[in-house]
Chain A
Amino acid sequence: MGAFESILLTVITAATPLLLAAIGELVVERSGVLNLGVEGMMIVGAVMGFAGAQATGSPYLGAVFALLSGMGMALLFGFLTLHLVANQVATGLALTLLGLGLSGMIGEAFVGQPGIRLTGIEIPVLSDLPLVGRLLFGQDVLVYLSLALVAGVSYVLFRTRAGLIIRAVGDNHASAHALGVSVLKVRYLAVLFGGACAGLAGGYLSLVYTPQWVEGMTAGRGWIALALVVFATWRPLRVLAGAYLFGAVGILQFHAQAHGVAIPSQFMSALPYVATIAVLVIISRNRILTRVNTPACLGRPFVPDR
C-alpha cells in the first residue's frame, strides 16, 4: 500500500462521520429546525451501534441499531420542540447532555471490550486494482452511503417537489401552512432523518473508526458537524467539501508532525478548524446567495392556528 493511498484511506475514515452527521443536520435546518443535539444523538448511536453488534454478532445490524437509536433521540427532540413548542436551542443542548449521560450508563458494561469491526467490501478484481482499487471499491458500506446521501439530499432538495416543500417550510412556515402543507409533519420527518444520520455517524465511530466503546468517544464531532452546516451555507456539496477538507488537514498535520516540521503542535491541532472555516467562508462569500440559502425560519417555532 503506497503512502499516498494510505493517507487518502485515513482521510476518508476521518471525514465520513462528520459528513454523515452534517448532511442529516443540513436537512433538519433546511426545514427550519435547529437541533443542537447532534453530539448527543451521535454518542447514543455510538453506544447502541456497539451494543447491537455485540448482541447480534453482526456489525451491519449494529449500524441499524445506531440508526434507530439516533431516530429515537430525534423523536424526543421533535416531540418537545414541535409538539410542545419548547425552545429549540435549550432542548438541543439538553439532548446532548442527555445523550452523553445515557450513553455512559448504557455502555458501562462494554468498557474494555473490543468491538466488532464493520469491514470494507471486497469486489473481485476491482478491489485489487492498483492505486485506486481499495480507494474506490474497497470501502465500507457507510462510506458509500454517506456519499450517496450527499447526492440524494442535493437532488431531492433542489430538483424535486418534496425538496421544494422542505425548503418552503424552512423559509416561510406560515405561507407553507397556508398552502396546505403540514409544517409539523415535514419538520418531524426532517428531524427524524437528521437523527438517523447522526446515529449512523456515531455508529461509524464505534464500528469502523475505532471499534470500541469508551465514554465521550465522539469528542465534539457533533459540534464540528453543526458548524460545517453553517459554514457551508446549507449546501450539500459544500458540506462534503468541508468534511473532507477538515479530515484531510487533520491527517496531514499529523504527518507534518511525524516528519518533524517545526511548527508548534498546538497550532497544528487548530489547523483543521482554521483551514475549513477559511475555505468555506471564502467559497460562501457572496452575501446575497448566502442569504438566499439561509433558511429564514431557522429556529423559529411554528404553532398552527393560534
Chain B
Amino acid sequence: MKKLFGIALAAALGLGMASAQAEDKLKVGFIYVGPIGDHGWSYQHNQGRLAIEAAFGDKVETTYIENVSEGPDAERAIERLARDGAGLIFTTSFGFMNPTLKVAKKFPDVKFEHATGYKRADNVSTYSARFYEGRYIIGQIAAKMSKTGTAGYIGSFPIPEVVRGINSFMLGAQSVNPDFKIKVVWVNSWYDPGKEADAAKALLDQGADVISQHTDSPAPLQVAEERGAVGFGQASDMIKFAPNAQLTAIVDDWSVYYVNRVQAALDGTWKSEDIWGGLAKDMVLMAPFTNLPEDIANEAAAMTDKIRSGEFHPFTGPIFKQNGEVAVEDGIILDDGALLGMNWYVKGIDDQLPQ
C-alpha cells in the first residue's frame, strides 16, 4: 500500500517540480521515509529543509518526496530528483544507503548526503547525530525523579542506534542510582501512536514511573501526562502534548548542518565527509528542562555542557556487559566503530536483547 502511495506521490511531485524550474539556482532535494506530518523523524528533516529556504531565499530551491519506502522505490525517487536538476540531494533514512550510492554513480556531478549510513563515495557524504549524548542526560534525570527506581523504555527495533540509546540512558541512571531498574518493551514499529500508548500504559502498570521512548509519536508522553507520570520528548519538543509530564526532550536539529552543507555547495567547498555530530555541533539539542526541581535542572544543564565541551563522554569505562564481562576498560572511551555496531546491553538491564 505504502509503496503505491509513494509512487503516486513521487509521480505527482515530479510533475509539479518539472514545471517550476529555474536555471541558475541550486536545487536541493530531500527524500523522506515517512510523512512530513509525523511530528517525528521526517518532520524534523523537513524543518531542516525549511531552514535552508529561510537562510538562502531565492538562491536555492528545495523539493522533497515523502513516504518513500526503503527499497527499489527509493532508487527511482532519488533518480527523479537528480534528473530534475537537483544539485544536492539529502536521503534521510538508513535504508536509502544503497539506492543513494547507485544513483550517485550515475550522476557524478550531483552531490549526495545520506543520513545514518556508513558507505561513502566522492560525491556521497554521510551524516548522523549522537542522540546517545542526550540519552545519558535524561537517564540521570530519570534516576533522580523516579520514586519507584524503575523507568520504562519503549523501543522500536533492536538495532544498534536504539540499543546504544538504552545503554546510554542506563549508564546515566546508574551514575545516580546503581540499583536503578529499566523495563524495556519493543513495539516493532517506529510509528504507531496506539501501540506506543499501550506500551506506555503497560510499563506504568508494572511500576515504572518515568517513561522514555525511542519511537516517534507523542502518544507515550500523553499517557504519562494522563497518569501523572513523567517522560521525555523524542525527536522534537513535545511539551504541548504533556505540559506537566515532559521533563525535557532530545531534539533532532538538522537545520544548522543542512544550512552549512548548502553553503558549502554554493561556495564550491563541498566535499565528501562523514559527520557524526552531537550536542557540540548543535545537531542534538536539549529542550528546556521543565517540571523539575531547580537543582536537578541545573545539574542536567551542567552535564549537557560537560558533554558538549567534550569534557565527558557517556561511554567512558569501566563499562560491563550483562554477563559481567568487561566491555570498556577503566578510563577508556569506546570508539565510534564499537558505538555504531553496538549489540549488547550494559550490566543491570534485565531485558534480553532480541537478536
Contacts and interface: CB of A to CB of B under 8 A. Distances in A.
B206 A255 contact: yes
Contact of B43 (A100, A111, A114, A262): A111
Contacts of B158: 265
A254 B218 contact: no
Contacts of A212: 39, 193, 217-219, 222, 241
A214 B183 CA distance: 27
A3 B205 contact: yes
Contact of B354 (A209, A214, A258, A265): A265
A6 interface: yes
B202 interface: yes
Given A10-B201, A214-B39, A254-B199, A101 B5 contact: yes
Contact of B198 (A10, A112, A264): A10
A260 B351 contact: yes
Interface stretch (A27-35, A78-86, A216-224, A226-234): A216-224
A56 interface: no
A101 B9 contact: yes
Interface string B37-60: 111100100000000000000000
Interface residues of B, number: 49
A209 B193 CA distance: 9
Contacts of B194: 14, 17, 205, 209-210, 217, 219, 221
A107 B37 contact: yes
A268 B187 CA distance: 9
A266 interface: yes
Contacts of A210: 193-194, 196-197, 217, 219, 222
B236 interface: yes
Contacts of A17: 194
A216 B189 CA distance: 13
Contact of B1 (A97, A221, A265): A97
A219 B236 contact: no
B35 interface: yes
Contacts of B201: 6, 10, 251
B185 interface: yes
Interface of B: 1, 4-5, 8-9, 34-40, 43, 152, 158, 183-189, 191-199, 201-203, 205-206, 208, 217-219, 222, 236, 240-241, 350-352, 354-355
8 closest A-B pairs by CB:
A265-B186, A215-B35, A254-B202, A215-B37, A269-B188, A219-B192, A210-B193, A210-B219
A259 interface: yes
B205 A255 contact: yes
A111 B241 CA distance: 11
B222 A211 contact: yes
A87 interface: no
A215 B38 contact: yes
A219 B34 CA distance: 12
Given A209-B197, A216-B35, A265-B158, 17 more contacts: A3-B206, A13-B198, A93-B4, A97-B8, A101-B8, A108-B37, A112-B240, A114-B241, A210-B217, A212-B218, A212-B241, A217-B193, A255-B205, A257-B186, A258-B183, A260-B352, A266-B186
16 contacts: A101-B5, A104-B37, A107-B37, A210-B196, A210-B197, A214-B38, A216-B34, A254-B185, A254-B198, A255-B202, A258-B183, A258-B203, A260-B350, A260-B352, A265-B188, A266-B354
A212 B37 CA distance: 12
Nearest to B352: A262
A215 B67 CA distance: 11
B191 A216 contact: yes
A266 B192 contact: no
Contacts of A96: 1
Given A210-B222, A219-B192, A265-B158, A258 B37 contact: no
Given A100-B5, A112-B240, A254-B185, A216 B38 contact: yes
Contacts of B199: 254
A78 to B, nearest CB: 22
A217 B355 CA distance: 28
A38 to B, nearest CB: 12
Contacts of B9: 101
A175 interface: no
Contacts of B38: 111, 214-216
A250 interface: yes
A217 B197 CA distance: 12
A55 interface: no
B202 A97 contact: no
A258 B218 contact: no
A260 to B, nearest CB: 5
A114 B221 CA distance: 11
